[in-house]
Amino acid sequence: MKFSKIQFAIGLASVVTIGAISCNKNDNKVAAPAPKEVSLQMSATLGNYLVDKQNRTLYFFSDDPNGQDSCTGGCQAYWPIFNVDNLTADKLGDGLSMSDFSSVTSVSGQRQLTYKGWPLYYFAPLGTNNTNVQEAAGQTRGEGVNNEWFVAKPDYTIMQVDAQLVGHDGKNYKSDYTEGIGKTTYFTDDRGLTLYTFKFDSLNRNKFTNPDFSNNSVWPIYETNKIVVPSTVDKTKFGSITVFGRTQLTYNGWPLYHFGQDGQTRGFNKGISFPAPGYWPVPVPDIAQAPQ
Protein backbone atom coordinates (compact mmCIF):
# COMPACT_ATOMS: atom_id res chain seq x y z
CA MET A 1 0.00 0.00 0.00
CA LYS A 2 1.30 3.40 -0.99
CA PHE A 3 0.86 6.52 1.21
CA SER A 4 0.48 9.96 -0.27
CA LYS A 5 2.63 12.82 0.96
CA ILE A 6 -0.39 14.25 2.78
CA GLN A 7 -1.08 10.95 4.60
CA PHE A 8 2.57 10.68 5.60
CA ALA A 9 2.63 14.22 6.96
CA ILE A 10 -0.54 13.62 9.00
CA GLY A 11 0.86 10.39 10.39
CA LEU A 12 4.15 12.02 11.32
CA ALA A 13 2.36 14.90 13.05
CA SER A 14 0.32 12.41 15.08
CA VAL A 15 3.47 10.63 16.26
CA VAL A 16 5.10 13.92 17.22
CA THR A 17 1.94 15.02 19.07
CA ILE A 18 1.67 11.76 21.00
CA GLY A 19 5.37 11.94 21.85
CA ALA A 20 5.03 15.51 23.05
CA ILE A 21 2.05 14.61 25.24
CA SER A 22 4.01 11.68 26.66
CA CYS A 23 7.01 13.91 27.42
CA ASN A 24 4.84 16.58 28.98
CA LYS A 25 3.24 14.01 31.28
CA ASN A 26 6.63 12.81 32.43
CA ASP A 27 7.90 16.37 32.87
CA ASN A 28 4.96 17.18 35.16
CA LYS A 29 5.75 14.32 37.54
CA VAL A 30 7.70 16.34 40.13
CA ALA A 31 8.59 14.43 43.29
CA ALA A 32 7.06 15.87 46.47
CA PRO A 33 9.74 17.51 48.64
CA ALA A 34 10.83 15.47 51.62
CA PRO A 35 9.52 16.86 54.93
CA LYS A 36 12.05 18.84 56.92
CA GLU A 37 13.54 17.06 59.94
CA VAL A 38 12.99 20.18 62.07
CA SER A 39 10.79 23.14 61.21
CA LEU A 40 8.72 25.87 62.81
CA GLN A 41 5.04 25.65 63.66
CA MET A 42 2.90 28.69 64.47
CA SER A 43 0.42 28.94 67.34
CA ALA A 44 -1.82 31.90 68.06
CA THR A 45 -1.03 31.60 71.77
CA LEU A 46 2.56 30.28 71.80
CA GLY A 47 4.01 31.84 68.67
CA ASN A 48 6.64 29.93 66.68
CA TYR A 49 7.97 26.68 68.11
CA LEU A 50 9.99 23.69 66.87
CA VAL A 51 8.43 20.50 65.50
CA ASP A 52 9.80 17.33 63.90
CA LYS A 53 9.06 16.11 60.37
CA GLN A 54 5.75 14.67 61.54
CA ASN A 55 4.71 18.00 63.08
CA ARG A 56 5.19 16.73 66.66
CA THR A 57 6.14 19.38 69.22
CA LEU A 58 9.63 19.58 70.71
CA TYR A 59 10.33 20.80 74.26
CA PHE A 60 12.98 22.30 76.59
CA PHE A 61 13.47 21.18 80.22
CA SER A 62 14.14 23.83 82.88
CA ASP A 63 16.59 21.51 84.67
CA ASP A 64 18.94 21.63 81.67
CA PRO A 65 20.51 25.10 81.90
CA ASN A 66 23.99 23.54 81.66
CA GLY A 67 23.08 22.00 78.31
CA GLN A 68 23.00 18.40 79.54
CA ASP A 69 20.05 16.00 79.67
CA SER A 70 18.76 15.96 83.27
CA CYS A 71 15.65 13.84 82.66
CA THR A 72 16.41 10.76 84.76
CA GLY A 73 14.49 7.75 86.04
CA GLY A 74 10.78 7.68 85.25
CA CYS A 75 11.08 11.09 83.58
CA GLN A 76 12.38 9.47 80.39
CA ALA A 77 9.13 7.59 79.74
CA TYR A 78 7.17 10.86 79.78
CA TRP A 79 9.77 12.89 77.91
CA PRO A 80 11.50 10.80 75.20
CA ILE A 81 14.62 12.34 73.70
CA PHE A 82 14.64 13.72 70.15
CA ASN A 83 17.47 13.14 67.72
CA VAL A 84 18.29 13.39 64.01
CA ASP A 85 21.41 11.67 62.72
CA ASN A 86 23.48 13.63 60.20
CA LEU A 87 21.36 16.77 60.36
CA THR A 88 22.22 19.22 57.57
CA ALA A 89 21.01 22.70 56.67
CA ASP A 90 18.82 21.45 53.83
CA LYS A 91 16.86 19.36 56.35
CA LEU A 92 15.82 22.45 58.31
CA GLY A 93 12.72 24.54 57.74
CA ASP A 94 12.69 28.26 57.01
CA GLY A 95 13.86 30.45 59.88
CA LEU A 96 16.18 27.84 61.40
CA SER A 97 19.99 27.93 61.28
CA MET A 98 22.32 24.97 61.41
CA SER A 99 24.62 26.91 63.76
CA ASP A 100 21.97 26.68 66.51
CA PHE A 101 21.94 22.87 66.48
CA SER A 102 24.33 20.44 68.13
CA SER A 103 24.07 17.23 70.15
CA VAL A 104 24.82 15.75 73.58
CA THR A 105 24.82 12.28 75.06
CA SER A 106 21.57 11.70 76.94
CA VAL A 107 21.22 10.07 80.36
CA SER A 108 20.42 6.80 78.58
CA GLY A 109 23.64 7.03 76.57
CA GLN A 110 21.97 7.97 73.30
CA ARG A 111 22.68 10.90 71.04
CA GLN A 112 20.25 13.80 71.62
CA LEU A 113 19.82 16.87 69.44
CA THR A 114 20.10 20.30 71.06
CA TYR A 115 18.85 23.72 69.96
CA LYS A 116 20.68 26.81 71.22
CA GLY A 117 22.26 24.48 73.77
CA TRP A 118 18.95 23.08 75.07
CA PRO A 119 18.40 19.31 74.74
CA LEU A 120 15.19 18.54 72.82
CA TYR A 121 12.41 16.21 73.95
CA TYR A 122 8.98 14.91 72.99
CA PHE A 123 6.04 14.62 75.42
CA ALA A 124 4.44 11.21 76.05
CA PRO A 125 1.73 11.43 78.73
CA LEU A 126 -0.17 8.41 80.04
CA GLY A 127 -2.83 7.10 77.68
CA THR A 128 -6.08 5.21 78.27
CA ASN A 129 -4.23 1.94 78.93
CA ASN A 130 -2.03 3.60 81.53
CA THR A 131 0.91 3.51 79.13
CA ASN A 132 2.91 6.43 77.83
CA VAL A 133 1.71 7.60 74.42
CA GLN A 134 3.57 10.27 72.49
CA GLU A 135 1.34 13.26 71.84
CA ALA A 136 -0.08 13.62 68.35
CA ALA A 137 1.01 16.06 65.68
CA GLY A 138 0.03 19.64 66.44
CA GLN A 139 -0.51 19.09 70.16
CA THR A 140 1.31 21.21 72.78
CA ARG A 141 -0.02 19.68 76.00
CA GLY A 142 3.49 19.54 77.45
CA GLU A 143 3.75 23.33 77.67
CA GLY A 144 4.07 24.38 81.30
CA VAL A 145 3.91 20.86 82.77
CA ASN A 146 5.15 21.05 86.40
CA ASN A 147 6.29 24.58 85.52
CA GLU A 148 9.42 22.88 84.11
CA TRP A 149 8.68 21.96 80.49
CA PHE A 150 8.28 24.49 77.71
CA VAL A 151 7.84 24.35 73.95
CA ALA A 152 11.14 24.91 72.15
CA LYS A 153 10.86 28.43 70.75
CA PRO A 154 13.46 30.08 68.51
CA ASP A 155 13.02 33.57 69.93
CA TYR A 156 13.00 33.27 73.73
CA THR A 157 14.81 36.13 75.46
CA ILE A 158 14.09 34.72 78.92
CA MET A 159 14.11 31.12 80.14
CA GLN A 160 13.06 29.85 83.56
CA VAL A 161 15.47 27.28 85.02
CA ASP A 162 15.92 25.16 88.15
CA ALA A 163 19.51 24.75 89.27
CA GLN A 164 21.85 24.57 92.23
CA LEU A 165 23.49 27.89 93.05
CA VAL A 166 27.29 27.56 93.21
CA GLY A 167 29.20 30.75 94.00
CA HIS A 168 32.58 31.87 92.70
CA ASP A 169 33.91 30.57 96.04
CA GLY A 170 32.88 27.04 95.05
CA LYS A 171 30.27 26.77 97.81
CA ASN A 172 26.68 25.62 97.31
CA TYR A 173 23.94 28.09 98.22
CA LYS A 174 20.20 27.88 98.73
CA SER A 175 17.64 30.44 97.57
CA ASP A 176 18.14 32.53 100.73
CA TYR A 177 21.92 32.65 100.03
CA THR A 178 22.83 30.55 103.03
CA GLU A 179 25.09 27.59 102.35
CA GLY A 180 23.31 24.37 101.48
CA ILE A 181 21.97 22.05 98.80
CA GLY A 182 18.75 22.79 96.97
CA LYS A 183 17.74 24.00 93.54
CA THR A 184 16.59 27.57 92.96
CA THR A 185 14.12 28.63 90.26
CA TYR A 186 15.39 31.72 88.44
CA PHE A 187 15.78 33.32 85.00
CA THR A 188 18.49 33.02 82.36
CA ASP A 189 18.76 34.35 78.84
CA ASP A 190 17.83 32.21 75.84
CA ARG A 191 21.13 30.30 75.93
CA GLY A 192 21.11 29.42 79.60
CA LEU A 193 23.42 32.23 80.77
CA THR A 194 22.42 33.32 84.28
CA LEU A 195 20.88 36.74 84.90
CA TYR A 196 21.39 38.79 88.08
CA THR A 197 20.02 41.80 89.93
CA PHE A 198 22.04 44.30 91.99
CA LYS A 199 20.90 44.84 95.60
CA PHE A 200 21.69 48.59 95.49
CA ASP A 201 19.65 49.32 92.34
CA SER A 202 16.24 50.94 92.67
CA LEU A 203 13.05 50.83 90.63
CA ASN A 204 14.03 50.92 86.94
CA ARG A 205 17.35 52.54 87.82
CA ASN A 206 20.79 51.06 87.18
CA LYS A 207 23.21 52.34 89.85
CA PHE A 208 26.17 50.18 88.89
CA THR A 209 27.12 50.86 85.28
CA ASN A 210 29.53 53.73 84.60
CA PRO A 211 28.60 56.28 81.91
CA ASP A 212 31.54 55.12 79.77
CA PHE A 213 30.73 51.41 80.39
CA SER A 214 34.23 50.94 81.78
CA ASN A 215 32.90 48.39 84.30
CA ASN A 216 30.49 46.70 81.93
CA SER A 217 32.79 43.71 81.45
CA VAL A 218 32.45 42.92 85.18
CA TRP A 219 28.64 42.97 85.20
CA PRO A 220 27.45 43.33 81.58
CA ILE A 221 23.94 44.70 81.27
CA TYR A 222 21.45 42.39 79.54
CA GLU A 223 20.88 44.38 76.37
CA THR A 224 17.52 43.69 74.76
CA ASN A 225 14.06 45.18 74.65
CA LYS A 226 12.40 42.00 73.40
CA ILE A 227 10.33 40.04 75.90
CA VAL A 228 9.65 36.44 74.88
CA VAL A 229 9.05 34.16 77.85
CA PRO A 230 7.56 30.72 78.63
CA SER A 231 3.78 30.83 78.97
CA THR A 232 3.89 30.24 82.74
CA VAL A 233 6.06 33.33 83.32
CA ASP A 234 4.37 36.69 83.93
CA LYS A 235 5.45 38.71 80.92
CA THR A 236 4.00 41.93 82.35
CA LYS A 237 6.73 42.05 85.01
CA PHE A 238 9.41 42.55 82.37
CA GLY A 239 10.32 45.90 80.91
CA SER A 240 13.33 47.88 79.74
CA ILE A 241 15.24 51.03 80.60
CA THR A 242 17.78 53.16 78.81
CA VAL A 243 21.25 53.15 80.35
CA PHE A 244 23.52 55.78 78.81
CA GLY A 245 22.08 55.15 75.37
CA ARG A 246 21.74 51.37 75.65
CA THR A 247 18.65 49.29 76.39
CA GLN A 248 18.66 47.05 79.48
CA LEU A 249 15.96 44.48 80.28
CA THR A 250 14.31 44.67 83.71
CA TYR A 251 12.22 42.32 85.85
CA ASN A 252 9.81 43.72 88.42
CA GLY A 253 11.75 46.97 88.22
CA TRP A 254 15.18 45.32 88.72
CA PRO A 255 17.73 45.92 85.94
CA LEU A 256 19.17 42.60 84.72
CA TYR A 257 22.86 41.77 84.29
CA HIS A 258 25.18 38.92 83.37
CA PHE A 259 28.35 38.17 85.39
CA GLY A 260 31.65 38.50 83.56
CA GLN A 261 33.22 35.53 85.34
CA ASP A 262 30.41 33.25 84.14
CA GLY A 263 31.66 33.93 80.65
CA GLN A 264 29.72 32.02 78.02
CA THR A 265 29.35 28.91 80.20
CA ARG A 266 25.76 27.76 80.44
CA GLY A 267 24.42 27.12 83.93
CA PHE A 268 27.20 28.96 85.82
CA ASN A 269 25.88 31.25 88.57
CA LYS A 270 29.14 32.27 90.23
CA GLY A 271 28.01 35.84 90.75
CA ILE A 272 25.68 34.98 93.64
CA SER A 273 28.59 35.06 96.12
CA PHE A 274 30.48 38.03 94.65
CA PRO A 275 31.74 39.96 96.52
CA ALA A 276 29.59 38.29 99.19
CA PRO A 277 26.35 36.26 99.12
CA GLY A 278 23.29 38.39 98.44
CA TYR A 279 24.93 41.36 96.72
CA TRP A 280 23.96 40.08 93.27
CA PRO A 281 20.86 37.84 93.64
CA VAL A 282 19.45 35.92 90.71
CA PRO A 283 15.98 37.12 89.60
CA VAL A 284 13.44 34.64 90.95
CA PRO A 285 9.81 34.70 89.73
CA ASP A 286 8.44 36.05 93.03
CA ILE A 287 11.16 38.62 93.72
CA ALA A 288 9.77 41.74 95.42
CA GLN A 289 9.53 44.85 93.30
CA ALA A 290 12.63 47.01 93.28
CA PRO A 291 12.39 49.87 95.81
CA GLN A 292 11.69 53.43 94.76
SS3 of 120, please?
Answer: coil
Q: Is the pLDDT of residue 257 over 70?
A: yes
The average pLDDT across 105-116 equals: 96
d(CA 128, CA 17): 61
Which neighbouring-strand residues pair with 88? none
**Residue-level pLDDT at 105:** 96
- pTM attached to this predicted model: 0.87
Q: Is the pLDDT of residue 11 over 70?
A: no
Q: Give, in order, the Cα–Cα distances in Å from 11 to each of 3, 19, 21, 26, 150.
A: 10, 12, 15, 23, 69
- CA atoms within 13 A of residue 254's CA, in its CB half-sphere: 22
Mean pLDDT of the chain: 91
d(CA 120, CA 136): 17
- What's the pLDDT tens digit per position in 165-177? 999 999 999 999 9
Q: Is the pLDDT of residue 244 over 90?
A: yes
